[in-house]
């Protein structure tokens, strides 16, 4: 049975109007959250992960990476001047997804190896991704 | 997660890959008349490969966790089919880098790329294409 958008994301409406890129298996949601559209990120031996995973659980590996990369937890899911934000989703204690906040106030997500969309924060809540566990923020660095 | 019933694949007691679920006319055209025992043709493997690939991609499309993707039953079926359709998989990678690199990893127990290329799907795909050229697995 094909998994449809409606089944996976019951709160997501008009997905085709929210699509911002075509399907591309070269990168996933975590890569996209950290502005990398070239690699598939996950704390797994099959994917790229910027730190040693050692014996960490997946959630611990994510937390370690956020801390290492200078992110701090915030309760505010909206734009703040000079900060970028990433939301981490979990289901039953396991990370499932990450989204990053755009300057428009919408969130940007790569859906697995499928399309990119822009959306409101809770539109991806549901049986596949669970819900937002934490929102992280980090000062925007001039490049 | 549920699975349809149009194609089922398993390894029989002899270790040979068995494919079920094709229509009877297709099966008859490929069966061995001398022994009366069904023997899979290359065409069967190709059809099974694309059927299982479509299922794997559609049922895991929105999943980012590689371990969740590769625990899926269709992924296991793809690994079982890979040896029979390697040039086809390579052709797919030549058209577009994809997560089929993980199927080849498990099918052949090799990683023809360096550790720092892990996760770079394009580099991994190119490494498998080069591997296929060295091993005569190109269409």
How far apart (Å, rounded) are the C-alpha atoms in residues B46 and B30?
A: 13
Shortest Cα–Cα distance, A81 to chain B (Å):
30
| Residue B123 forms contact with A (CB below 8 Å) | no
For helices B73-82 and B42-60, the axis angle rounded to 10 degrees is: 150
Examine the pLDDT at A70 and tell me if it is beyond 60.
yes
In percent, how much of chain B has pLDDT > 70? Answer: 75
What's the CA angle centered on B112, arms B60 and B139, to 5 degrees? 75
User: Domain limits of chain A?
Assistant: 5-139
CB distance A101 to A85 below 8 Å: yes
Question: In whole angstroms, what is the distance from residue B57 CA to residue B74 CA?
Answer: 9
Segment among A84-98, B4-18, B58-72, B89-103 with least mean pLDDT: B4-18
Task: List Cα–Cα distances, B122 to A16, B58, B73, in angstroms.
Answer: 27, 21, 25
Instruction: State pLDDT tens for residues A98-123.
Output: 999 999 999 999 999 899 999 999 99
Q: Which of A9, A29, A39 sits opposite B64 (nearest CB)?
A: A29
Task: For residues B80-101, give the mean pLDDT.
Answer: 97
């Amino acid at each position: 049975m094909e998994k449809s958008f409606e089944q996976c994301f019951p709160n997501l409406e008009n997905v085709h109007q929210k699509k911002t890129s075509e399907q591309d298996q070269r990168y996933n949601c975590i890569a996209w959250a950290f502005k990398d559209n070239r690699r598939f990120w996950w704390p797994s031996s099959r994917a790229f992960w910027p730190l040693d995973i050692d014996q960490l659980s997946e959630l611990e590996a994510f937390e370690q990476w956020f801390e290492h990369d200078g992110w701090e937890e915030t309760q505010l899911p909206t734009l703040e001047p000079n900060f970028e934000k990433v939301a981490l989703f979990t289901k039953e204690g396991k990370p499932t997804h990450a989204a990053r906040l755009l300057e428009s106030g919408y969130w940007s997500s790569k859906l697995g190896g499928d399309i990119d969309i822009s959306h409101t924060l809770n539109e991806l809540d549901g049986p596949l991704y669970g819900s937002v566990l934490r929102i992280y923020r980090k000062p925007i660095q001039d490049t | 997660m549920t699975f349809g019933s149009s194609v089922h694949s398993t390894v029989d007691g002899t270790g040979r890959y068995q494919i079920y679920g094709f229509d009877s006319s297709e099966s008859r055209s490929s069966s061995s008349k001398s022994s009366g025992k069904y023997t899979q043709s290359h065409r069967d493997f190709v059809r099974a490969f694309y059927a299982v690939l479509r299922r794997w991609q559609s049922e895991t499309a929105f999943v980012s966790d590689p371990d969740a993707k590769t625990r899926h039953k269709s992924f296991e079926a793809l690994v079982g089919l890979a040896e029979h359709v390697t040039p086809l998989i390579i052709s797919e990678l030549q058209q577009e880098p994809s997560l089929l690199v993980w199927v080849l990893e498990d099918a052949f127990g090799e990683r023809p790329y360096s550790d720092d290329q892990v996760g770079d799907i394009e580099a991994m795909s190119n490494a498998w294409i080069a591997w296929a050229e060295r091993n005569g697995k190109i269409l």
